[in-house]
A and B are shown apart, each in its own frame.
Chain A
Amino acid sequence: MRLRVRPLVAPKRGSTPEEYEDARWPVRSGVHRSLRCAVADGATEASFSGLWARLLVEAFRHGRLDAALTALPALQEQWQAAVAGIPLPWYAEEKARLGAFSALLGVTVTGGRWDAVAVGDSCLFHIREGELLAAFPIERAEDLAAAPHLVSSLPRHNAALPAHLRTACGELRDGDVLYLATDAMAGWLLRRLADGACHNELAALRPAGFPAWLDAQRDAGTIRNDDTTLIRIDAVADTARL
């Protein structure tokens, strides 16, 4: 089995690409035999959240962040060292003191199975022959909370983290599709996947056309205006042409 990966990204409307605070791995489309992929969604209401999201994704990608997030203290030190070196006005200093926050979804795909870990509202979807097999860690659009529990760059905000850490696994077959999505896109998928009508629309999405597709959805009020990241993974048989 090979894994054809296609990441799709767009910043919140009204924000610049530099202000995009989601993070992802892989960054670009490609084909893999096995993969550690991830999306993270830095919280708007905190500062240096994009940096924190990138640190989480990088650590997961390299296998330094396991399913129990035991490497978190080292990442927190890395975040604090990066922020401490920046001269800041009073408000940015006070904001940084509150810490950064991010949702994290990490998925390891290898040997015909996937293993996922999640904190917060970034979601994994597993599709087989047009049917939704699994939505993780949130299964209903109405359960996407306005204020999710997220991974913080400060230990004092993570006391309840173990209770919010979710894991799941599944078997992956040739022809299956996985989606990793940050919360706005996850909400759209949760509302649309159940009716099975959106698979062709999703399959046709390409990185260059994604921002325009997203803008049309925003104009129609079917998706919340937010930084948006969607990674599509197609499990392709070894015998199939790519």
Chain B
Amino acid sequence: MPYTAEISRSNPSCLLFLIDRSGSMEDPFGAGDGKSKADGVADAINRLLQNLVIKCAKSEGVRDYYHVGVIGYGGSTVGPAFGGELAGRDLVPISELAEKPERIEERSRKMDDGAGGLVEQSVKFPVWFDAVARGGTPMCEALSQAERLVSGWTAQHPDSFPPIVINITDGESTDGNPTGAADRIRSLQSADGSPLLFNLHLSSQRAAPVEFPSEESGLPDQHARLLFGMSSPLPDHIRDAARQDGYSVGDGARGFVFNADMVSVIRFLDIGTRPANLR
């Protein structure tokens, strides 16, 4: 059965993020309070990486359950987007990522105090990426680079849980229709199934957020429908975890969200016992 391989330090998996850094990302984000879509992308990728690092963290350090890459695309630039000491690297072990954010900010967050009230806590927020917006949107080239990376990974790790590619974009590709490049990623094969391609659509439209839809009929525009069509169906265990978390997901739900958070996907990844009461 596909998507059942154990994710462990001796049999790690791969998460590859594609981040749209094109000029159109300067436009306002429909779900944001005056933020641009570029701010939305930076926030999304930093939160995804933070949650992934924390997921893999134990008291003694971060366990390398994942190797992680980030490909940025905007203008004529498509390639590894890490800065600082990680600049130029395509896939790095998650423990290395944990040690090398660009900076760590202190933010405050309201937390449930367990007695019916809220308490404000100061939390550490690592930043690997700042907002960037310039030039066109070479999404086809970004997906082609992702295909090469993912293909190389699966050849080296044939028994691993298949790589997951998460594309964060406004969907306005300027180098052609990305459907073919997306299909090529989703048709690669490994012993445990094909790589998964998920899309996080950040739009200027003020339409209601959509999470893991099963059909495109309720989606607000052609960009959303295009990205939905490129997205893999959720594997059974991820769909079940989403349901247990209270998401209303149909049997054909796809790895696509519109103007919403995809951090939940990190929660649904299975690396061991996940307490139902851990939120």
User: In the complex, how many angstroms separate the beta carbon of B71 from the nearest chain A beta carbon?
Assistant: 23
Complex-state Cα separation, A157 to B121, whole angstroms: 16
Residue of A14, A89, A91 contacting most chain B CB atoms (<10 Å): A91
**Contact between A44 and B61 (Cβ–Cβ < 8 Å)?**
no
Complex-state Cα separation, A48 to B104, whole angstroms: 23
Please report which residues of chain B, range 69-94, place their CB below 8 angstroms from some CB of chain A when the two chains form the complex.
Answer: none
**Contact between A14 and B9 (Cβ–Cβ < 8 Å)?**
yes
Complex-state Cα separation, A148 to B272, whole angstroms: 11
Which residues of A have CB within 8 Å of B275?
A: 43, 45-46, 101, 147-150, 152, 157
Taking the complex as formed, is B58 at the interface, i.e. its CB lies under 8 A from any CB of chain A? yes
User: In the complex, how many angstroms separate the beta carbon of B150 from the nearest chain A beta carbon?
Assistant: 24
Taking the complex as formed, is A228 at the interface, i.e. its CB lies under 8 A from any CB of chain B? no
Complex-state Cα separation, A226 to B8, whole angstroms: 11
Are A94 and B123 CB-contacts (below 8 A) given A101-B277, A160-B277? yes
**Contact between A96 and B59 (Cβ–Cβ < 8 Å)?**
yes
Which residues of B have CB within 8 Å of A44?
A: 271-273
**Contact between B274 and A45 (Cβ–Cβ < 8 Å)?**
yes
**Contact between A159 and B114 (Cβ–Cβ < 8 Å)?**
yes
Taking the complex as formed, is B30 at the interface, i.e. its CB lies under 8 A from any CB of chain A? no
User: In the complex, how many angstroms separate the beta carbon of B222 from the nearest chain A beta carbon?
Assistant: 37
Taking the complex as formed, is A175 at the interface, i.e. its CB lies under 8 A from any CB of chain B? no
Complex-state Cα separation, A92 to B58, whole angstroms: 6
Q: Which listed residue (A47, A98, A154) contacts B114, Cβ 8 A?
A: A154
Q: Mark A64-85, 1 if CB is under 8 A from B, else 0.
A: 0000000000000000000000
Taking the complex as formed, is A176 at the interface, i.e. its CB lies under 8 A from any CB of chain B? no
**Contact between B10 and A14 (Cβ–Cβ < 8 Å)?**
yes
Which residues of B have CB within 8 Å of A43?
A: 272-275, 278
Which residues of B have CB within 8 Å of A48?
A: 59
Complex-state Cα separation, A239 to B272, whole angstroms: 46
Q: Mark B157-182, 1 if CB is under 8 A from A, else 0.
A: 00000000000000000000000000
Taking the complex as formed, is A113 at the interface, i.e. its CB lies under 8 A from any CB of chain B? no
Which residues of A have CB within 8 Å of B121?
A: 97
Please report which residues of chain A, range 191-242, place their CB below 8 angstroms from some CB of chain B when the two chains form the complex.
Answer: 225-226
Which residues of B have CB within 8 Å of A145?
A: 244, 276
Taking the complex as formed, is A17 at the interface, i.e. its CB lies under 8 A from any CB of chain B? no
Q: Which listed residue (A14, A91, A147, A157) contacts B57, Cβ 8 A?
A: A91
Which residues of B have CB within 8 Å of A108?
A: none
Q: Which listed residue (A19, A93, A149, A226) contacts B277, Cβ 8 A?
A: A149
Please report which residues of chain A, range 134-185, place their CB below 8 angstroms from some CB of chain B when the two chains form the complex.
Answer: 145-150, 152, 154-160, 183
Taking the complex as formed, is A99 at the interface, i.e. its CB lies under 8 A from any CB of chain B? yes
Complex-state Cα separation, A45 to B272, whole angstroms: 6
**Contact between A45 and B55 (Cβ–Cβ < 8 Å)?**
yes
Complex-state Cα separation, A147 to B121, whole angstroms: 27
Which residues of A have CB within 8 Å of B102?
A: none
* 18 further A-B pairs in the complex, CB-CB below 8 A; given A14-B9, A95-B58: A43-B278, A45-B271, A45-B275, A45-B278, A47-B58, A89-B98, A91-B53, A98-B278, A146-B241, A147-B241, A148-B276, A155-B115, A156-B114, A157-B278, A158-B114, A158-B277, A183-B273, A225-B8
Chain A to chain B contacts (Cβ below 8 Å), 18 pairs: A14-B10, A19-B58, A41-B273, A44-B273, A47-B59, A89-B98, A90-B124, A91-B54, A94-B50, A97-B123, A145-B244, A146-B273, A147-B276, A149-B275, A155-B114, A156-B114, A157-B279, A158-B277
